[in-house]
Amino acid sequence: MNDRLLDFAIRYGFLILLAGLIVYFSLAAPGFFGPLSAAFVLQSVAITGILALGVTCTLVVGGFDLSIGAVATSALMLSAYSMVILEHPTIVAVFLCLAMGALVGFINGILIVKFRVPDLLATLGMMFLLIGLQRIPTQGNSIATGMTLADGTVAEGTFSAAFLWLGRHRFDLVIDRLLPMPVVIFIGIAVLIWLFLGFTRHGRLMYAIGSNERAAALVGTPVNRYKVAAYMISGVTASIGGILLAARLGRGDIASGNNLLLDSVAAALIGFAVLGAARPNAFGTAIGALFVGILLQGMTMMNAPYYTQDFVKGAVLVAALVFTFYLSSRRSGTGH
Amino acid sequence: MAVHALKVNGLQKSFGKNYVLRGIDVTLEPGSVTVLMGANGAGKSTLVKVICGHHRADGGNMMLAGQAFDPVGAADAIRQGVVTVHQSIDDGVIPDLDVANNLMLDRLVERSHGLFVRERHLRAEAAKVAAAMGIDVNLRARVSDLSVADRQMIAIARAMARAPKVLILDEPTSSLSATEADRLFALIDRLRAQGVAILYISHRMSDIRRIADRIIVMRDGAISGTFETEPLDYEAAVTAMLGHRMTEVDVAVQSGTAPVLELADLRLFHGAAPINLQARDGEVVALVGLLGSGKSRLAEILYGMARPASGAIRITGTDYAPNSVEDAVAEGVFMSPKDRGTNAVIPAFDIADNMTLPFLKGLSVGSFLKANRQKTRAQEMVSQLGIVCQSVGDGIGTLSGGNQQKVMIARWLLEPAKVLLLDEPFQGVDIGARRDIGRHIRATAKGRATLVFLAEIDEALEIADRIVVMHEGAIVGEHKNQNVDLGALVADISGAQSTETGAHP
């Protein structure tokens, strides 16, 4: 009986908590329950969520990617540089960013599988390198139309309407102009990664690598290829996050995206607790991101000061981790 | 000798309904090396774990130097003077510290040590310990940079720093080369001279010949033989270890049909003798040999994990030179590796996922897995091999060792193999599961060549049509599994012919 209760708590505890939060805020904060508020929550977690889905893939193969935040801000700066200074069309800017993300992921992967650098250290180094690199072309300045370049000329390019559309367009749903483009992309990526990790043989083999790399290798799994692929997925999703951020801001702001890494890692780790999975999974990651978003939105509407936000996120994360590692370890034999 | 170093009386231990120790009586004398032999599952490691305080006994008692001895934990056993050096030596050393710090580690733990490390003093003390033990390595070297043998010496030296009455060495030579083992034996000789009672667990006949003062043999949780009169009767000890069990399984010996796997002048490493071997369709060949005999190396070469120094491998007449495990699997060469915990089991997966892992491609449409198909295939194997489980969706960790191993074997029976390699398939497997696995391997042997790599003779006698003995990278003997001359087989395995004269007719 007790065992069954524990099992139920592990499996549904987090979702019940989430439902409870929604009910509580709906009652306590007028205006919380409604399409506008929901769209706002989704918008606030979309970019973090996209990054979190990428880092989930690296967690699945037993790795970690600390460079995602830096990749996203690099993509932000690169898209601005490409369009404002080099005056590229949208498609080129987007392609450059995605290619940059894939390349960074590839280098991360090679550092890890070929040069045997531990994942945390390799991606930490890459993070540092990118944070520095993205500042060099503009001498540390943000990029905006009309800025004066080092050679004295003025940058005359602009963010194209098509590019800004990616970050600012809102689809009609229930009410006009409700659902922002980044949310649609977030949901799309979440579904893709969920299908990939949960239902394809590639996903299954990646979980096998994360659980016992040697055993996976000894059944003939190309372990290194899958690991590199995981980091490339992570790099590409991070660059998508960066593109959306740039499109929303409409300028290459050097100071944006500071919190992206921590927020998205937190979402992925909170995701371990969802449905008692006790391992990285796409559904959990998306719910984890949403959980944080709902909590913050509700608190903001109840006039909690903004500076308590990080504290709340941290508390949720710690609670989720205890949930995952302590409770699940008491349940014997974790299959799925 | 008036007082025994350790006296064990009627020790009993069971796990659930499984009686592992059924009243063991053992005495260890100071200044004497007692070798403990026994096949897998005989209860050796359980006995050791009770003595060193990992398990509490269910019945019986122990006396340490005349005093009652009932350790409540490993630390307590050590404090009372029973020190164990376990098989995995890295448990006994801190790889990232240097030799001096490792030797003095126990001193640093003591509360009386004080806050600051007196570097010079520590090094001087360490040098003294090293000299006393005859360890000749740079004390500033990091332990991780040392050879396995040196690390082992240091683990033993650390154990000796506590001046134990009883020292237990659990398969200490399992990862040592012959010269490295010689150094260990010299150390053991020195400890014996100092009056330490040593319990030495090993399968290696050459070790046993070298250092045993007495031999105790365990079988099925009981002592099946004690040998203490000079000269020690090694053959009788081996027979006591294998006992009657080998006659229980009757193998209908097949000689196989067409040759499937051919090794032509294959040299496992530079300077090794060339190997020539044929394995035929429907035949089960056991490769037996001690650690370091080259059988693991041969398995690795066949499975694409290592390259031979020279020579050729052919499968059904076609040259076969795999560059990776992927290549090997693609060519129809499958291997179930030894040490399933590290090499085979995916702890996060359920039975079906674990079993179907190598063949997911065939079980998916496009890239998408067909979960139902996976389940059905797994279910078929579960009933064929008699795997005891609630459903194929159970976590692999919920199964017993024997059932886990059945899953790992079933993994490679899902699709037809040309060559099936089984490396120590009976490791950590109870006798019932072992019979099931053996029977199933033999029943399905048609259509492939099966090579089983084993250290234990009785396991080879249970499963094989032909037993091939390896020693130092070469094939030194071949026995059809019919009225096998055990003496000759044991002699081949222990390399007696080359190292001893006159001991065996």
Q: What is the pLDDT of residues B54-111, one digit of tens each?
A: 888 888 888 888 888 888 887 788 888 888 887 665 667 788 888 888 888 777 776 6
**Candidates A200, A211, A218; nearest CB to B369:** A200
Q: Does A148 touch chain B (CB under 8 A)?
A: no
Q: Which of A218, A330, A334 to mutate to test the interface with B (most CBs of B within 10 A)?
A: A218
Closest CA to A335 of B221, B409, B345, B197: B345
- Do B349 and A336 lie within an 8 Å CB cutoff? yes
Shortest CA gap B154–chain A (Å):
28
How confident is the prediction for chain A on average, in pLDDT?
A: 90
Cα atoms in the Cβ-side hemisphere of radius 13 Å centred on A255: 0
Long-range CB pairs of A33-37, under 8 A, 24+ apart, other chains included: A35/A173, A35/A174, A35/A175, A35/A178, A36/A175, A36/A178, A37/A297, A37/A301
How confident is the prediction for chain B on average, in pLDDT?
A: 84
Length of chain B, in residues? 505
**Full-model pTM:** 0.80
**Candidates B344, B363, B369; nearest CB to A215:** B344
- How many percent of chain B have pLDDT more than 90? 35
Contacts of residue A29, Cβ cutoff 8 Å, sequence gap at least 6? A298, A301, A302
Q: Does B397 touch chain A (CB under 8 A)?
A: yes
pLDDT category, A248, cuts 50, 70, 90?
A: very high
Torsion sign, CA atoms B35, B39, B42, B45: positive
- Do B348 and A215 lie within an 8 Å CB cutoff? no
- How many percent of chain A have pLDDT more than 90? 65
Shortest CA gap B112–chain A (Å):
36
Residues forming a β-bridge with B315: B261, B318
- Do A219 and B369 lie within an 8 Å CB cutoff? no
pLDDT category, A206, cuts 50, 70, 90?
A: very high
Residue in the structure block whose two tokens are 């089991």: B345
What separation in angstroms does the CA of A14 have from each of A3, A18, A53, A297, B17? Answer: 18, 6, 19, 18, 40
What separation in angstroms does the CA of B138 have from each of A200, A240, A268, B88, B131? Answer: 53, 54, 47, 23, 12
- B248 has a pLDDT exceeding 80: no
Q: Does A30 touch chain B (CB under 8 A)?
A: no
- A49 has a pLDDT exceeding 90: yes
Q: What is the pLDDT of residues A86-101, one digit of tens each?
A: 999 999 999 999 999 9
* Axis-axis angle for helices A161-168, A223-249 (nearest 10): 100
- Do A219 and B397 lie within an 8 Å CB cutoff? no
- A200 has a pLDDT exceeding 70: yes
- What is the residue extent of each domain of chain A? 2-330
Contact A190, A53 (CB under 8 A): yes
- Do A214 and B353 lie within an 8 Å CB cutoff? no
Residue in the structure block whose two tokens are 């950590």: B428
Q: A2-330 — its CATH code? A: 1.10.3470
Q: Does B39 touch chain A (CB under 8 A)?
A: no
Lowest-pLDDT range, A182-191, A200-209, A315-324, B314-323? A315-324
pLDDT category, B429, cuts 50, 70, 90?
A: confident
| DSSP state letters, B91-106 | GSS-TTSBHHHHHTHH
Q: Does A226 touch chain B (CB under 8 A)?
A: no
Pairing outcome for strands B18-28 and B6-15: antiparallel
Closest CA in chain B for residue A195: B368
Contact A237, A189 (CB under 8 A): yes
Q: Which of A60, A197, A202, A219 to mutate to test the interface with B (most CBs of B within 10 A)?
A: A219
CB interface of B with A, residues 330-389, below 8 Å = 330, 335, 337, 342-351, 353, 357-358, 360-361, 363-364, 367-369
Domains of chain B: 6-81+164-243 (3.40.50.300), 253-332+417-430+444-496 (3.40.50.300), 342-416 (no CATH)
Query: What residues in A contact B326, CB-CB < 8 Å?
Result: 220-222
Q: How high is the pLDDT of residue A89? A: 94
- Do B346 and A212 lie within an 8 Å CB cutoff? yes
Closest CA in chain A for residue B397: A333
Q: How high is the pLDDT of residue B41? A: 65
Residues forming a β-bridge with B449: B419
- Do B348 and A279 lie within an 8 Å CB cutoff? yes
- Do A201 and B369 lie within an 8 Å CB cutoff? yes
Q: Which amino acid is at B496?
A: A
More confident residue, B132 or B174: B132
- B505 has a pLDDT exceeding 80: no
How far apart are alpha carbons A234 and A214 in whole angstroms? 23
- B267 has a pLDDT exceeding 70: yes
- Do A333 and B397 lie within an 8 Å CB cutoff? yes
Query: What residues in B contact A200, CB-CB < 8 Å?
Result: 364, 367-369
Pairing outcome for strands B166-170 and B197-201: parallel
Q: How many Cβ atoms are within 10 Å of B236's Cβ, its own excluded?
A: 13
Q: In B255-336, at which residue ranges do the beta strands (DSSP E only) sit?
A: 259-267, 275-280, 284-288, 310-315, 318-319, 333-336
**Candidates B346, B363, B368; nearest CB to A211:** B346
Shortest CA gap B197–chain A (Å):
39
pLDDT category, A8, cuts 50, 70, 90?
A: confident
Contact B396, B351 (CB under 8 A): yes
